[in-house]
């Protein structure tokens, strides 16, 4: 591997001069500059970013830590964060926690050891105060974070929940169920609360047996709606905590000959790409992933700017109702 010293030797200058030329600083004579640049190209010189990072104390890398890259929602987010980062000259390290808090802690640690300049993270559960204390790097969360000094960005789940339930009510459904994700998920909580409130506002009853929280998977949705249909008084519509769950429900409906949306209404949350597929056409609450990703990165940028102070940005992105075939 060839270094600036090699170039310096051949050019007959000190390696400090090479460094200056390569970084196109003004205080180098055009002649030596060009000579060095040519030599660098000729020798196939590749700057060592590691060495540079060490002295500059900046890696030009940011970490994106998500629970599941293969989940379309997060892969869209990954995409848009990547785009924004690239424009700003940053490289993104994508980490997968697999919804495992231990792994999450590991990734958080590893990324700090790698001295990334900042972290964007969708935590599995709420990050404890201790864990937050341990993080001494600019960070932006996809989460309704409580601490004042932490920046977050999120969709307005409250508004989203209302949107969904009101829509169901307008469509004439009377027995609306909620099939949520993990109970520990705060956004799930918020959606569920909005669900309950909207039900009451709409003059409908809140029935505990129509509320169920569990995994964020198709299988889980399939299973859980199945149990609900075995109730003596089953629901006639369901608001799902995310589209994946809704897809499971749709599959169940299909397998059991239910007519959607006539006999049973389904609305999801997220608007993942599946949702718009032919013969899926899931009604849902759209989270604008491109906006989320971009804004998250921009928030991180300003956070990095003011670090170690905090910009404390609290960004709430408005969701949107998308009506398709299942309601």
Partner DNA sequence: CTGAAAGCGCTAACAA
Partner DNA sequence: TTGTTAGCGCTTTCAG
Per CB under 8 A, the segment of 65-73, 187-195, 204-212, 234-242 that binds a copy of itself is 65-73
Backbone angles phi, psi at 212, to 5 degrees: -150, 135
Q: Least CB distance from residue 327 to a copy of itself, whole Å?
A: 16
Does residue 93 touch a copy of itself according to CB under 8 A? yes
Q: Is 278 in the site for a copy of itself (CB under 8 A)?
A: yes
Q: From the CB of 55, what's the least distance to DNA, in Å?
A: 3
Nearest approach in angstroms of CB 110 to DNA is 14
26 vs 203 by CB, closer to DNA: 26
Q: Is 130 in the site for a copy of itself (CB under 8 A)?
A: no
Query: β-pairing, 139-141 with 118-121?
Result: parallel
Nearest alpha-carbon partner for 325 in 291, 287, 279, 288:
279
Beta bridge partners of 269: 285
Exposure string of 78-107, with b = 16+ CB inside 10 Å and e = fewer, is bebbbebbeeeebebbebbbebeeebbeeb
Which of the listed partners (a copy of itself, DNA, none) does 12 bind, with a CB threshold of 5 to 8 Å by partner kind? DNA
* Contact flag: residue 233 with a copy of itself (CB under 8 A): no
Question: With binding defined as CB under 7 A, does residue 206 bind DNA?
Answer: no
Residue linked to tokens 């892969």: 75
Interface with a copy of itself includes 271 (CB under 8 A)? no
Quote helix, strand, coil % in the chain, to nearest 5.
45, 15, 35
Nearest to DNA of 21, 285 (CB atom): 21
Judged by CB under 8 A, the residue of 44, 172, 203, 257 near a copy of itself is: 44
Q: Shortest approach of a copy of itself to residue 135 CB, angstroms?
A: 10
Among 9, 10, 37, 52, binds DNA (CB under 7 A): 52
Residue 59 in contact with DNA, rule: CB under 7 A:
no
Q: How far is CA 213 from CA 7, 119, 210, 217, 225, in A?
A: 63, 29, 10, 11, 11
Cβ–Cβ contacts within 10 Å for residue 2, how many? 13
Phi, psi of 262 (to 5 degrees): -60, -55
Instruction: Examine residue 41 and tell whether it contacts DNA (CB under 7 A).
Output: no
Sites of contact with DNA (CB under 7 A)? 1, 3-5, 12-17, 19-20, 22-23, 26-33, 47-48, 51-52, 54-57
């Amino acid at each position: 591997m060839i270094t600036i010293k090699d170039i310096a030797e051949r050019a007959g200058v000190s390696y400090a001069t090479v460094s200056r030329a390569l970084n196109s600083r003004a205080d180098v004579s055009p002649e030596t500059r060009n000579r060095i640049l040519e030599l660098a190209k000729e020798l196939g010189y590749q700057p060592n970013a590691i060495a540079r990072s060490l002295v500059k104390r900046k890696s030009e890398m940011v970490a994106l830590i998500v629970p599941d890259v293969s989940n379309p929602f997060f892969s869209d987010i990954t995409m848009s964060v990547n785009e924004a980062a690239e424009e700003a000259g940053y490289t993104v390290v994508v980490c997968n926690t697999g919804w495992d808090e231990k792994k999450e802690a590991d990734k958080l640690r590893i990324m700090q050891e790698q001295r990334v300049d900042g972290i964007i993270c969708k935590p599995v559960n709420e990050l404890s105060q201790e864990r937050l204390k341990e993080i001494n790097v600019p960070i932006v969360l996809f989460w309704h974070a409580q601490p004042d000094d932490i920046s977050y960005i999120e969709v307005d789940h409250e508004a989203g929940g209302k949107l969904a339930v009101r829509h169901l009510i307008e469509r004439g459904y009377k027995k609306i169920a909620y099939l949520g994700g993990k109970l520990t998920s705060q956004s799930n909580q918020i959606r569920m609360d909005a669900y309950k409130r909207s039900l009451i506002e709409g003059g409908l009853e809140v029935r505990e047996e129509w509320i169920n929280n569990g995994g964020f998977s198709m299988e889980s949705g399939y299973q859980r709606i199945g149990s609900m249909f075995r109730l003596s008084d089953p629901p006639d519509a369901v608001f799902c905590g995310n589209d994946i769950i809704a897809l499971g429900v749709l599959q169940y409906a299909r397998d059991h000959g239910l007519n959607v949306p006539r006999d049973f209404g389904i609305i999801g949350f997220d608007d993942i790409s599946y949702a718009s597929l032919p013969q899926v056409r899931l009604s849902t609450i759209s989270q604008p992933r491109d906006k989320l990703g971009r804004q998250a990165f921009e928030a991180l940028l300003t956070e990095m700017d003011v670090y170690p102070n905090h910009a404390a940005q609290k960004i709430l992105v408005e969701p949107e109702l998308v009506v398709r075939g299942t309601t």
